[in-house]
């Protein structure tokens, strides 16, 4: 039942704002002309999983059919997709529900499910850890439709990590408590333009995939039966393999879909710990830890301007393949899209998504390999932002210690009180860091110094506003209050101007930092 190649089960919002259920081939055809606005049932944490799956299946279908670019017609897509499962003329691997002795979509043959654990809603199946029912409630999709189950399956099978004995995670991450981030470039347009670019990128990158794989290997991993004990090796897989990590089967009972799940004795795909998540995933940057490469793991801090600067300008990182600019990209503005669901031990530590808009001149610099023209000013700005933060911390600590004659720079109480204000300052910097960096890079040489000085002045004013907010709301000794305020602002200004003299702020009598 629910054959994705023929049955319109994927609820899709098209450009005229109408909801249109589509089968997978029709969906690909709509994406190729960029007429898809969104998917009605797709939850925010499922976006990268669904994007990556569409791109991987689309690229493999094109490569196996010897197509140089994605087809535009739905029938051509249907033929290419059916060729991937030619040994199953009834399309069992594309159905959400198939007989248990045949594979179903993202569901291998697992034998009888009598002893499997029943799951009545898609969000019970999904990868979000919501044991405490905070933020996102568990088991609430009581009237789920087929695409609710589809997206939950995609999220679980292609993005999940380790979750206790018998619950192994996907191979495309550095360890069971890591995650699978998504970094790629989106051209102007909507979802379809982004997916089309990534499919074309995967086709173009085929010759650069790791040699450990087999170009004719298993691409749809759920086609192979899985008894829970056997593992697959990379040499048996297509470089763009679409994996599964759990033994799941969907069934229909009394007109409703239901899932059955069971653990396994081994992970489905094994690379070995020495691989450190380096599986050739085209959306995952490489991080170098003392020169040792490993797949990037995004933690609860998400995509701060500091971390994004390092990844974008390859300071201790290597960009993800689909994040890299090409000559074809340089003729248009692009958006860097970064996504990740941070995971912890038995918990979810936040869904993070960031978009960085890059105009044509910035895109051309990156496409031409002139990364240092961006990396150097970015590094300087990160360092300077840190100096302003240091000055703000000095002022806050002085305030919270009531302007003492003997200042304690490591006092834990005042340090703890300062942290929320410093976090707000970091968020202020983050809000327009790349926009203002790119404005400086695009400016004429004579204007660069003025732009940087204006940015530093703005940072000073933002920090001073936070310091004065702390002054207004901070309990303090009434006898020493005015002294504390004066000494706090003086400490801040002295520290700021000590760090930023010429060429930004010529010395004068109003800010003597001697």
Q: pLDDT class for 126, splitting at 50, 70, 90?
A: confident
Q: How many residues does the chain have?
A: 514
Q: What is the rounded distance in angstroms from the CA atom of residue 494 to the CA atom of residue 487?
A: 10
Which has the minimum average pLDDT: 155-159, 209-213, 431-435, 464-468? 209-213
More confident site: 83 or 163: 83
pLDDT tens string 230-239: 999 999 999 9
- Answer yes or no: is pLDDT of 137 > 60: no
> How does DSSP classify residue 207?
G
Judged against a pLDDT cut of 50, whether residue 130 lies above it is answered with no
Q: In sequence order, what are the residues at sequence separation of 6 or more whose Cβ sits closer than 8 angstroms to the Cβ of residue 61?
A: 67, 77, 80, 81, 83, 84
* pLDDT of 133 strictly over 60: no
pLDDT category of residue 131 using cuts at 50, 70 and 90: very low
Q: What token pair was written down for 492? A: 């801040």
Worst-scoring range by mean pLDDT, 61-65, 189-193, 398-402?
398-402
Query: What is the reported pLDDT for 475?
Result: 64
Is residue 99 within 8 Å of residue 92, measured between CB atoms?
A: yes
CA-to-CA dists, residue 152 to 46, 146, 443, angstroms: 8, 10, 47
For residue 513, what pLDDT is reported?
Answer: 45
Q: Please give the pLDDT value at position 166.
A: 85
pTM: 0.91
Percent with pLDDT over 70 in the chain: 93
Nearest one of 230, 201, 187, 421 to 320, comparing CA atoms? 201
Cα-based torsion angle of the residue sequence 381, 383, 384, 390 in order, rounded to the nearest 10 degrees: 150
pLDDT band at 141; cut points 50, 70, 90: low
Question: Parallel, antiparallel, or unpaired for β 286-289 and 317-318?
Answer: antiparallel
Sign, CA dihedral 311-312-315-317, equals: positive
What's the chain's average pLDDT? Answer: 90
What is the predicted pLDDT for the residue at 445? Answer: 85
- What whole-number distance in Å separates Cα of residue 283 and Cα of residue 479? 59
Rounded CA separation 225/340 (Å): 30
pLDDT of residue 514: 41
Residue 258, both tokens: 């239901």
The confidence band for 287, taking pLDDT boundaries of 50, 70 and 90, is very high
């Amino acid at each position: 039942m629910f054959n994705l190649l023929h049955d319109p089960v994927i609820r899709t919002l098209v450009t005229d704002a109408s909801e249109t259920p589509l089968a997978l081939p029709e969906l690909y055809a709509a994406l190729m002309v960029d007429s898809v606005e969104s998917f009605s049932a797709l939850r925010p944490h499922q976006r990268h999983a669904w994007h990556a799956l569409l791109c991987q299946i689309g690229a493999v279908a094109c490569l196996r059919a010897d197509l140089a670019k994605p087809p535009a017609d739905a029938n051509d897509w249907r033929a290419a997709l059916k060729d991937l499962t030619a040994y199953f003329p009834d399309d069992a691997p594309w159905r959400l529900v198939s007989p248990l002795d045949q594979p179903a979509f993202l569901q291998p043959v697992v034998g009888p499910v009598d002893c499997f654990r029943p799951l009545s809603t898609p969000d019970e199946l999904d990868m979000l850890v919501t044991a405490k029912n905070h933020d996102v409630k568990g088991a609430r999709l009581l009237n789920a439709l087929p695409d609710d189950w589809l997206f939950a399956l995609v999220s679980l099978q292609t993005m999940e990590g380790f979750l206790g004995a018998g619950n192994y995670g996907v191979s495309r991450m550095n360890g069971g408590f890591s995650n699978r981030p998504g970094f790629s470039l989106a051209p102007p347009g909507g979802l379809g333009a982004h997916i089309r670019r990534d499919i074309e990128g995967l086709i173009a990158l085929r010759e650069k995939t790791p040699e450990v794989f087999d170009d004719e290997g298993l691409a749809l991993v759920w086609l192979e039966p899985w008894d829970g004990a056997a593992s697959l090796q990379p040499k048996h897989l297509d470089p763009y393999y679409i994996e599964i990590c759990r033994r799941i089967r969907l069934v229909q009972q009394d007109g409703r879909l239901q899932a059955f799940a069971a653990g396994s004795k081994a992970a489905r795909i094994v690379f070995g710990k020495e691989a450190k998540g380096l599986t050739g995933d085209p959306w995952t940057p490489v991080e170098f830890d003392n020169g040792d490469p490993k797949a990037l793991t995004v933690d609860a801090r998400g995509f701060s301007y500091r971390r994004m600067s390092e990844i974008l300008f390859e300071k201790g990182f290597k960009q993800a393949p689909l994040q890299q600019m090409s000559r074809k990209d340089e003729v248009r503005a692009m958006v860097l899209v970064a996504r990740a669901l941070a995971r912890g031990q038995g918990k979810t530590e936040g869904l993070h998504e960031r978009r960085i808009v890059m105009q044509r001149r910035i895109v051309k610099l990156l496409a031409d390999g002139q990364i240092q023209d961006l990396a150097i000013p970015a590094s300087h700005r990160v360092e300077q932002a840190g100096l302003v933060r240091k000055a703000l911390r000095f002022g806050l600590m002085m305030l919270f210690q009531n302007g003492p004659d003997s200042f304690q720079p490591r006092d834990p109480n005042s340090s703890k009180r300062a942290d929320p204000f410093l976090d707000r300052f970091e968020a202020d910097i983050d809000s327009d860091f790349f926009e203002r960096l790119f404005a400086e890079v695009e400016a004429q040489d004579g204007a660069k110094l003025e732009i940087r000085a204006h940015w530093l002045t703005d940072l000073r004013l933002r920090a001073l506003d936070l310091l004065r907010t702390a002054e207004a709301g901070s309990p303090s000794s009434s006898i020493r209050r005015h002294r504390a305020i004066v000494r706090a602002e003086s400490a801040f200004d002295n520290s700021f101007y000590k760090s930023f003299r010429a060429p930004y702020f010529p010395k004068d009598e109003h800010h003597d930092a001697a």
